[in-house]
Structure 1
Amino acid sequence: MINDMKVNDNKRNLLVKSICKVIIEKGNHEKAWKILGSAIVTAVKYGVHELIEECILTYPFIIWYGDDEYRLPDQVQDCQPYKFNLFIEAIRHRQERVFNLVYQMSHHKVFVATRHDDKENALHIAAKLAPTHRLHVVTGAALQMQRELQWFQEVQKLITRLSYEEELNNDGKTPRMLFSDEHKQLLIEGQQWMKDTASSFTVVAALIVTMTFAAAFTLPGGNQDNGIPMFLNFSTFMLFIISDAIALFSSSTSVLMFLGILTSRYAEEDFLYALPNRLTIGLISLFISLTATMIAFSSALALMLKYKVTWIATPLVIATSIPVCFFGLLHFPLLVELVKSTYGKSIFHQQNTQMIH
């Protein structure tokens, strides 16, 4: 499957190279400007950064396509200018691969980060809500809000003048004000998503806390007259005690993290790191506590049936792993996405391209 995808990508790149070469060999710069320019307009919308890269490598001046402030080559002076900017459109459509590609072109990135367009700079564009299909590349309104904040902060880094952060658009709004207005509904949805998720997991974590706390004082086999546990010298008993302690501590941590989410102020900035961080720690702790609880249960059962049913250990291990596996299947994808978006490699990074600055 992966090999087929690579073959298709290579064929597509070869086709693009051939088309670009044919257009340039015709020597008609007006046609090259129009054809390659329209190709870039479509490519940036759908995030086909390979096509954009090939077009620029073939015909470097096409990077200024649609920019009527820059003087076109002599061959295309009479072309009708088209209001389009590659960097701005990459931000508008939230296409990080195209953004990264343009970011590597140092001169272009400095130019577009400080330019104006109808009293809107690049930060105003980043403050607007992303298209619906780009919002849904991540799961849940909270992570969508996080992705939008990441975009806003990344563009903010490129702004060369602090005054642009306070610049007003046609509606009299700064980029930050525009961001709050555009993401008002997403913020509400993110709050609700976080509350619902945290509430559900809090019930499970609190139940595990109750069980593991009680199990610590209700030892299998009971105690001797001097208070020492009956199975103290058994390795299985030590496994029970350690597992129960781990389950208690991790489930308590999980409860605290989820309560921290429920009592949060839910400010916009909290969705960037604070809330995803708490949810990640809470989920990891809950997964550990569930696993440790199952181990403690199976070890306690094995202790009580040790002299009657000697073969009980293997079936118990298999049986107790079932709920842990189900929990992993249901919630591990969310955990992976949380870790990736919060602690993983940023979506804004240098790409391995042929582009020369």
Structure 2
Amino acid sequence: MKVKHASALELTKTLVKEDSTWIQLHSKIENRTIDIGDDRDVFIPIQALDTIEEQTDDMNQTSYTPLLIAASKGIVEIVDNMIEVYPQGIEHTSSNEQNILHVAISHRKKEIFQRMKKMKTIMTYRLASRIDKKGYTILHHVADTKNYDGGHQPGPAFQLQEELKWFKRVQNIIPSHYVMHRDIEEHMTADELFKKTHSDLLEKAQKWIKETSQSCSAVAVLIATVVFAAAYTVPGGNDNTGHPVFLHSPFFLFFTIMDVLSLASSLTSVVMFLSILSSPFEYENFRISLPRKLTLGFTLLFFSVTTTMLSFAATILLIIHFKKTTWTTTVIYTAAFLPVSVFALMQFPLYKAFSSTLRGLNKKILKTVLPQKFTPRYLLTTIERKACMPFPRKKQ
């Protein structure tokens, strides 16, 4: 695969040098000529010119030039090579007057979008302020689901969150007054078009998150009931004074800690799931609030399952009085971690969806705990600025 990738890159570099599709073709019907971009005019009969124009229109309606095709597919290497060889080609537009930023945003290609965003401010502004023939801004292309394939998130709620974040990210680079711009066909703003095209996804997300919260809360209540009962029926029973028989055993301490953690985490997860069920299910809630609550609730539920199985293992070890050399150790540990492992593997796609929410939550916590790390240097006092400076290195 590495050899194929390297060969494809070499072929790309060769083909890019020979490519001229980015050049704008301007027909001059009155003079029966076509400007091919290199200061030469080619004479063509009027019948042939009409045929060429019809074929060109048909081709442009169904496909893009190689640069726009690469942007629509997210092939970063081709885009980088073409822009490096022909920098002026970045402003090339299709027959619908869509530039590379329109195409990348419409097809949800974040890598291409980030590269265009990192360019010079003037170039990014020019690309972002372009409006195509349908009256679509780049924000309208986020709302348009024609090229949307469903994303890579496992549930409708996280798919809607991904779309809302994409809408917000694109909105940050367009001129502020473009938010009120209406397209030509439906006379809608980008926000109105987004709500119209994503209404089905919103209904699916509402149903999915309700059912998930109800199911998870039922499991969390069941775990809380089990560990609460286990706290009053300690392993080994009590002696004549009412104290646990294995009170001074390290495994009993481990059992107690795991039981308390399991009870606390399961009840907290129940609270999180109930808060989800009582929340409004609007578009704005699916961007941050609801996915964050679901992430916390599901993480606490998984933690409660883990601590419950660990407390079960500690109970078995206390009862059988095993020795370190016996085979029972391996069997007990395997039995304890098997349900947790299966649960984690089955829910791995959902955990992957939680990763972005967890990163945002961790960043917010660190911003609260360590505000100096996330505060711009020009807002810090002199003392704070010196405290943030690294230690000077000693000269060799």
The interval holding the TM-score normalised by the smaller chain is 0.7 to 0.9
Aligned to 1:97: 111
Q: Distance in 1 between matches of 2:358 and 2:300?
A: 17
CA gap of 1:92–1:236, structure 2 versus 1, over 3 A, is same
| Structure 2: distance between partners of 1:84 and 1:342 | 36
Partner of 1:351: none
Q: Does the 8 Å CA contact 1:17/1:54 hold for their aligned counterparts?
A: yes
What is the aligned partner in structure 1 of residue 162 from structure 2?
147
Q: Does 1:17 align with 2:44?
A: no
> After superposition, what is the alpha-carbon deviation per residue over 1:149-186, rounded to whole angstroms, capped at 9, x for unaligned?
1111011111223x221222232322211111111111
Q: Which amino acid aligns with 1:112?
A: L
Large movers: runs of 4+ above 6 Å: 307-310
Q: Which residue of 2 aligns with 1:326?
A: 342
1:109 maps to 2:105: no
Question: Under a length normalisation based on structure 1, what TM-score does the superposition of the two structures give?
Answer: 0.82
Q: For the aligned residues, what is the CA RMSD?
A: 2.8
TM-score, normalisation: structure 2: 0.74
SS at structure 2 position matched to 1:323: helix
Alpha-carbon distance in structure 2 between the residues aligned to 1:23 and 1:267 = 48
Q: Does 1:168 align with 2:182?
A: yes
Flag the 1:310–1:249 CA change in 2: closer, same or farther, 3 A.
Answer: farther
**Contact 2:108 / 2:148 at 8 angstroms: preserved in 1?**
no
Query: Is 1:248 paired with 2:244?
Result: no
**Per the alignment, in what secondary structure is the counterpart of residue 291 of structure 2?**
helix
* Residue matched to 2:87: 60
Maintained 8 Å contact 1:195/1:262: yes
C-alpha distance in 2 between matches for 1:243 and 1:130:
51
Deviation for aligned residue 1:123:
1.8
Kept in 1: contact 2:91–2:127 (CA 8 A): no
Among 259, 265, 277, the alignment partner of 1:262 is 277
CA change 1:335–1:158 in 2 (3 A) is same
Give 1:328 shift.
Answer: 0.9
1:272 alignment partner in structure 2? 287
Percent identical: 34
Structure-2 residue corresponding to 1:282: 297
State the alpha-carbon separation in 2 of the partners of residues 308 and 317 from structure 1: 14
CA distance in 2, matches of 1:301, 1:278: 35
Given that 2:202 and 2:283 are in contact with CA atoms closer than 8 Å, whether structure 1 keeps it comes out as yes
- The counterpart of 2:136, out of the listed 117, 120, 133, is 120
Structure 2 gap ranges (5+): 24-34, 39-55, 57-63, 362-396
Structure 1 residues 256, 310: closer, same or farther in 2, change over 3 A?
Answer: farther
Q: Distance in 2 between matches of 1:127 and 1:82?
A: 17
Alignment check: 8 A CA contact 1:276 1:342 kept = no
1:119-268 equivalences under 5 Å are 119-129=135-145, 131-133=147-149, 135-161=150-176, 163-170=177-184, 171-268=186-283
Q: Is the 8 A contact 2:295 2:357 kept in 1?
A: no
Pair 43,342 (structure 1): closer, same or farther in 2 beyond 3 Å: farther
**Larger relative CO (CA 8 A, sep 6+): 1 or 2?**
1
**Structure 1 residues without counterparts, runs of 5 or longer:** 68-80, 346-357
The structure that has the greater radius of gyration is 2
Distance 1:131 1:260, change over 3 A: farther
- Superposition pairs of residues 276-355 of structure 1, within 5 angstroms: 276-306=291-321, 311=326, 312-340=328-356, 343=359
Shift of 1:207: 0.8
State the Cα distance separating 1:285 from its structure 2 match: 1.1
CA distances 1:266-304 after superposition (whole Å, capped 9, x unpaired): 111121121211121122211211111111112112222
Report Cα offsets for 1:4-29 as digits up to 9, x if no partner: 3x3332221111101122447xx9x9
Aligned pair in 2 of structure 1 residues 88, 331: CA closer, same or farther (>3 Å)?
A: same
Q: Give, in angstroms, the shift of residue 82 of structure 1.
A: 6.1
* 1:73 alignment counterpart: none
After superposition, the Cα gap between the structure-2 partners of 1:16 and 1:299, relative to the gap in structure 1 and judged at 3 Å, is same
Kept in 2: contact 1:112–1:122 (CA 8 A): no
